[in-house]
Structure 1
Amino acid sequence: MNEPYSPTTPRPISTSSPNIMKIFMCFLTVLIIAQTIGTVLYSLYLQMKLDKLEQELSLQEDYLFLRRLQKCQKPEGAGASLLDCKEIIKRFQDLLVKDAEVSKDSATFEMQKDDRHQPISAHLVGLKNSTKPVSVLHWQETGYAPRSNLISYTGGKLKVNEAGRYYIYSQVSFCTTPAPGAPYTVFIYLNLPSEFDRLLLKGQDTHSTSSAYCALQSTHLGGVFELRQGDMVFVNVTDSTKVNYDPGNTYFGMFKLY
Structure 2
Amino acid sequence: MGDGVIYPSVFFVEGQGDRIPIVPPRRKPHTRQCSPGQLVLAVLVSLALVGVAVEGYYLLRLQGVLGQVPAHAAAEALAEKVIQERMLQAEKPAAHLIGSENTTKGGKALLWESTKDWAFVRGLGYEEGALVCHQPGHYYVYSVVQLRAVPEACAVTSATHRVYKTTPRYPRPLPLLQRLLAPHCGSGNHSLWAHGSALGGLVHLTPHDRLYVDVKPRHLLQVRDGTRSVFGAFML
The reply to whether residue 204 of structure 1 matches residue 174 of structure 2 is: no
Change (3 A) 1:181 1:201: same
Normalized per residue, the structure richer in strand is: 2
Output the TM-score relative to the length of structure 1: 0.49
Q: What letter is aligned with 2:185? A: T
* CA distance in structure 2 between the partners assigned to 1:127 and 1:244 by the alignment: 10
Percent identity of the aligned residues? 17
Structure 1 vs Structure 2 CA RMSD = 3.9
Note closer, same or farther for the CA distance 1:189–1:168 as it changes in structure 2 (3 Å cut): same
Q: Which of 200, 206, 212 is the aligned partner of 1:223? A: 200
Counterpart amino acid of residue 228 in structure 1: L
| Superposed displacement of residue 219, structure 1 | 3.5
Unaligned runs of 5+ in 1: 1-8, 32-112
1:197 shift after superposition = 1.9
What is the number of equivalent residue pairs in this alignment?
164
Give the Cα–Cα distance (whole angstroms) in 2 for the partners of residues 142 and 133 of structure 1: 18
1:15 deviation in Å? Answer: 6.4
User: Is it true that 1:135 corresponds to 2:108 in the alignment?
Assistant: yes
1:184 is matched with: 159
**Counterpart secondary structure, 1:197:** strand
Cα deviation, 1:163-195, whole Å, max 9, x if unaligned, reads 124142322434443543441211111222321
* C-alpha separation in 1, matches of 2:116 and 2:158: 34
Q: Which has the larger radius of gyration?
A: 2
Counterpart of 1:23 (choices 17, 35, 42) is 35
Change (3 A) 1:174 1:134: farther
Contact 1:166–1:225, Cα closer than 8 Å, also in 2: yes
Partner of 1:249: 228
Question: 8 Å contact 1:188–1:199 — kept in the other structure?
Answer: yes
* Secondary structure class of the residue paired with 2:177: strand
In structure 2, list runs of 5 or more residues that go unmatched: 1-23, 44-84
Q: 1:215 to 1:124 in 2, by over 3 A?
A: farther
Please give the residue correspondences for 1:66-215 in structure 2 after superposition, counting only pairs within 5 Å. Answer: 116-118=88-90, 121-129=94-102, 134-141=107-114, 144-147=117-120, 149-160=122-133, 161-176=135-150, 177-195=152-170, 196-210=172-186, 211-212=188-189, 215=192
Matched, 1:235 2:213: yes
Note the C-alpha offset of 1:162: 4.8
Structure 1 counterpart SS, 2:223: coil
8 Å Cα contact 1:203-1:219 kept in structure 2: no
1:236/1:150 Cα in 2 relative to 1: closer, same or farther (>3 Å)? same
Distance 1:192 1:218, change over 3 A: farther
Structure number having the greater helix percentage: 1
What's the TM-score once normalised by structure 2's chain length? 0.53
